[in-house]
Amino acid sequence: MMTKLAPSPFLSIRGLRKSYGSLEALRGINLDLAPGEFLCLFGPNGAGKSTLLKIIATLLRPSSGKIRILDDDLENNPQEYRARLGMVSHQSFVYQDLTLLENLEFYAALYGVKDPRQRSLELLEQVNLADHYEMLAGNLSRGMQQRLTIARALLNDPELLLLDEPYTGLDEHAARVLRGQLQWLHDQQRTIIMVTHNLRRGMEAATRMGILVRGKLVYLQQKENIDPASFEELYFQKLEAV
Ligand code: ADP
């Protein structure tokens, strides 16, 4: 009998665990993402969502487990692995007293991007900040800061984008702009993992939904198999079941 081979995943996580002293923040995460998938992760405070994103982003070391992006193993090819990803987190990593362009040029040079100025201007254009390139980052509104942070995360043209609560502190207009930008990235076939408390924003953007509770992925489903009207109910059921 012919066996059909499943396409190899873009991101593969196996048996991932993380302890902070005696606290087990992640208790065995297994996850495969196909290229271009957009996973939205939900979960209560303290579930381990930020820990998971930080480990994938190499900002934190796991206690055990394996992570691979295509052929690049986090342990064996950390540099190649890192070059494939970008992260948008609560920390903006933006220098308040540098202009928008200076901020991006600084990081572009740091990442070894070719022609830092050209690339930085291109990205400011993409996130609709080109008109403000000479403005000091410290004078930006929260929504504009967020766009600059996204531009910074995209400097190395990452295939995998990690977003930790990107909607926090954004007003409806800024949230709409961010939504458009995420849609654009998704259309560019980037693979995306986003952590958010905003069920509505998560639902509209993602192709797959996951729920993390007390360090375990208790639910993972393709969005087309989910009834949006009952997802909130399902979310609370999952919280209570653990
Ligand atoms: P979430 O992002 O879902 O709110 P976190 O990943 O921030 O969850 O935290 C998961 C658990 O790990 C929580 O109980 C939190 O208190 C704990 N934790 C997170 N970071 C640290 C740390 N640096 N030292 C000790 N405990 C931590």
As averages over each run of 10 residues, the pLDDT of the chain (242 residues) reads 69 97 97 96 96 95 95 86 88 88 94 92 93 95 89 92 90 86 91 92 92 96 93 91 77
Number of residues written out for the chain: 242
| Whether residue 74 sits in one domain with residue 186 | yes
| Whether residue 228 sits in one domain with residue 184 | yes
Query: What residue numbers bound the domain in which 224 lies?
Result: 33-84+160-242
Give the residues across from 13 on adjacent strands.
Answer: 31, 67
Residue 15 forms part of a structural domain: no
| Whether residue 143 sits in one domain with residue 99 | yes
| Whether residue 97 sits in one domain with residue 136 | yes
Residue 37 forms part of a structural domain: yes
pLDDT at position 7 is: 67
pLDDT at position 89 is: 84
pLDDT at position 74 is: 84
User: Of the candidates 119, 142, 157, which is a domain's last residue?
Assistant: 157
Residue 220 forms part of a structural domain: yes
| Whether residue 187 sits in one domain with residue 144 | no
| Whether residue 233 sits in one domain with residue 193 | yes
SS3 49: helix
| Whether residue 164 sits in one domain with residue 149 | no
Q: Do 81 and 58 contact (CB within 8 A), yes or no?
A: yes
H or E segment and range at residue 128: none
What domain count does the chain have? 2
| Whether residue 229 sits in one domain with residue 169 | yes
Alpha-carbon distance of 197 to 166, in angstroms, equals: 10
H or E segment and range at residue 4: none
pLDDT at position 6 is: 64
pLDDT at position 199 is: 87
pLDDT at position 1 is: 54
Report how far ligand 1's centroid is from the alpha carbon of 165 (Å).
Answer: 15
| Whether residue 164 sits in one domain with residue 152 | no
| Whether residue 44 sits in one domain with residue 62 | yes
Alpha-carbon distance of 21 to 218, in angstroms, equals: 23
Residue 19 forms part of a structural domain: no
Q: Which residues contact 189 (CB under 8 A, 6 or more apart)?
A: 35, 36
Q: 242 CB under 6 A from ligand 1?
A: no
Residue 14 forms part of a structural domain: no
| Whether residue 152 sits in one domain with residue 47 | no
| Whether residue 73 sits in one domain with residue 165 | yes
Q: 46 CB under 6 A from ligand 1?
A: yes
Q: 215 CB under 6 A from ligand 1?
A: no
pLDDT at position 35 is: 94
Nearest CA to ligand 1 atom 16: 46
Residue 135 forms part of a structural domain: yes
pLDDT at position 80 is: 87
Alpha-carbon distance of 5 to 199, in angstroms, equals: 34
Closest CA to 192 of 172, 213, 173, 178: 178
Q: Which of 17, 18, 19, 23 to mutate to test the pocket of ligand 1 (most atoms within 8 A of CB)?
A: 23
